[in-house]
Copies of this chain bind each other. A is one copy, B any other.
Amino acid sequence: MVGYNINNIKITNPILGGIIMSLIKDMSKDELLALKKELEKKFDAFKAENHQLNMSRGKPSPQQLDITEKKVNKLKNFVNYDEIDVRNYGGLSGLRSCRELLSDLTGVPADNIVMGGTSSLNLIYDAVAREFIFGSNGCKAWHKLDKVKFLCPVPGYDRHFAILEEFGIEMINIEMDENGPDMDTVEKLAAEDESIKGIMCVPLYANPNGVCYSDETSERLAKMKTAAKDFRLFWDNAYGIHHIYKETKLANIFELCKKYGTQDRLLYFFSFSKVTYPGSSISMVAGSDNTVKEIIRRMSIQTIGHDKVNQLRHVELFKNAEGVYSHMRELAEVLRPKFDIVLDTLEKELKDTGLLTWNKPNGGYFISADTIEGCAKETIRLTKEAGVIMTDAGATYPYKNDPKDTNIRIAPTYPSEEELQSAMNIFCVCVKLAGVNKLLGGKE
């Protein structure tokens, strides 16, 4: 089970929540001033070392990419299923063999999968754009409506929020616990407000807090009534096979939507961005028969088709789902020591200080941490001053506005283990320094 505890929600997992009460938090002013002096010394020492570490984005490391590169061979036979020459035009929905591979990984039938280009984010953008420009399910195009709103579980993925903002869609924060978004609120809002047109979900190892949606959450998302006939469940399963410590199972949302007759609600996204090469891999969108028909109809005007040679390259590389799983286990071997560094350093430096709480995800790409209120921005400013670039504070919230200024996204994948250890040492000092300054402010 994924631990989950951030300051701005009720702690539901007492095992992981025990680090709230703390030493530093209860210090007197004099003790704090002494500690401050000591921290500033450490901080200045770090600065003097001229660090230039960027851990702001969830980028794989060169070591991960090498694992893939060793396996990619020159393609020999371009004639795939049904005698299609994959090097030529045709086959808008993508290679059958590739869709079958993705079907085995996602549990969505191959006929309900449409291949995209190298970016599932682009498919998400296109899905929002289609609704904005044309509309769907016989409903008005969104550009003709006064107001369109989306439910946004927070903290979440900055690029999702950026797309919604770009289209002028109002974003409503939805708190999360260890089972996913607060479903009571989601159900209530979706049922009563027709202008709420969708919800943005990363259901497994959510970016950034690593939360995995429980079966009940998935079922309620499939089952719930929505006032909008064109409500869309954006299911961005970006980390669906990215287990690191332990495999977490996700309910089959496609089957659940079918069971409750809400299949036209679902837009299922998946990609190999963090399986092979980010920005040069394959992506897919899936949905009901109606949805796929509509996507293909619009895509036939939009593009000549996506890269079937690259799709074939991926099929040849992995052969089948087990080939992908085995590759992911190799990648996990590279990632695990890095997650260990982050978690061990946080534990060592910040446990029982009351200045930081964090999750311990079983997979995915991030560790999410929360400072005491009003300290995230200052912490990130300090790490930057000491030469470590982290994801901007606030980025994990719509409009870059973290209402309590607590959430920080730690992205351990890209740096080498050595760099990561340095970065985490610096980060922990900055958390303490920002926290101590804050506490001192409260005592003036």
Instruction: Mark out the residues of chain A between 156 and 177 whose CB falls within 8 Å of any chain B CB in the assembled complex.
Output: 159, 162-163, 166-167
Complex CA distance for A65 and B301, rounded to whole angstroms: 25
Instruction: Mark out the residues of chain A between 262 and 319 whose CB falls within 8 Å of any chain B CB in the assembled complex.
Output: 273, 277-280, 298, 301-310
A60 contacts across to B, CB distance below 8 A = 88
Q: A129 within 8 Å of B by Cβ?
A: yes
A87 contacts across to B, CB distance below 8 A = 65, 68-69, 277-278, 280
A74 contacts across to B, CB distance below 8 A = 72-74
Given A133-B133, A304-B119, A280-B310 contact (CB < 8 Å) = yes
Majority secondary structure, A binding face: loop
Instruction: Mark out the residues of chain A between 83 and 97 whose CB falls within 8 Å of any chain B CB in the assembled complex.
Output: 85-90
CB closest chain-B residue, reference A164: B301
Complex CA distance for A303 and B74, rounded to whole angstroms: 28
Partner of A129, one of B86, B129, B304: B129
Q: A388 within 8 Å of B by Cβ?
A: no
Q: A416 within 8 Å of B by Cβ?
A: no
A365: min CB distance to chain B, Å:
12
Q: A404 within 8 Å of B by Cβ?
A: no
Contact residues on A (Cβ < 8 Å of other chain), bracket = 35 or more
A361 contacts across to B, CB distance below 8 A = none
Complex CA distance for A119 and B303, rounded to whole angstroms: 6
The answer to whether A301 and B166 have CB atoms under 8 Å apart is yes
A162 contacts across to B, CB distance below 8 A = 301
**What's the number of copies of this chain in the assembled complex?**
2
Q: A245 within 8 Å of B by Cβ?
A: no
The answer to whether B309 and A277 have CB atoms under 8 Å apart is yes
Complex CA distance for A28 and B216, rounded to whole angstroms: 83
Q: Would you give the 0/1 interface string for A119-136, flagging 1 where the beta carbon is closer than 8 Å to chain B?
A: 101100100010011000
Complex CA distance for A224 and B201, rounded to whole angstroms: 50
Q: Would you give the 0/1 interface string for A360-388, flagging 1 where the beta carbon is closer than 8 Å to chain B?
A: 00000000000000000000000000000
A172: min CB distance to chain B, Å:
20
The answer to whether B301 and A125 have CB atoms under 8 Å apart is yes
CB closest chain-B residue, reference A61: B88
Complex CA distance for A167 and B60, rounded to whole angstroms: 39
Q: A3 within 8 Å of B by Cβ?
A: no
Partner of A307, one of B117, B121, B298, B303: B117
A73 contacts across to B, CB distance below 8 A = 74
Q: A218 within 8 Å of B by Cβ?
A: no
Partner of A85, one of B65, B85, B309, B310: B65
Given A74-B74, A117-B307, A280-B308, A302-B122 contact (CB < 8 Å) = yes
Q: A78 within 8 Å of B by Cβ?
A: yes
Q: Which of A74, A85, A89, A122 has the most CB of B within 10 A?
A: A89
Complex CA distance for A121 and B300, rounded to whole angstroms: 11
Given A73-B74, A74-B74, A143-B133, A117-B306 contact (CB < 8 Å) = yes
CB closest chain-B residue, reference A57: B89
The answer to whether A88 and B307 have CB atoms under 8 Å apart is no
Q: A225 within 8 Å of B by Cβ?
A: no
A348: min CB distance to chain B, Å:
30
With A59-B90, A65-B87, A119-B304 known, 10 other A-B pairs at CB within 8 A are A57-B89, A68-B87, A87-B280, A88-B278, A121-B303, A122-B302, A122-B304, A133-B143, A280-B309, A310-B310
Q: Which A residues form the contact surface with B (CB < 8 A)?
A: 57, 59-60, 62, 65, 68-69, 72-74, 78, 85-90, 117-119, 121-122, 125, 129, 132-133, 143, 159, 162-163, 166-167, 273, 277-280, 298, 301-310
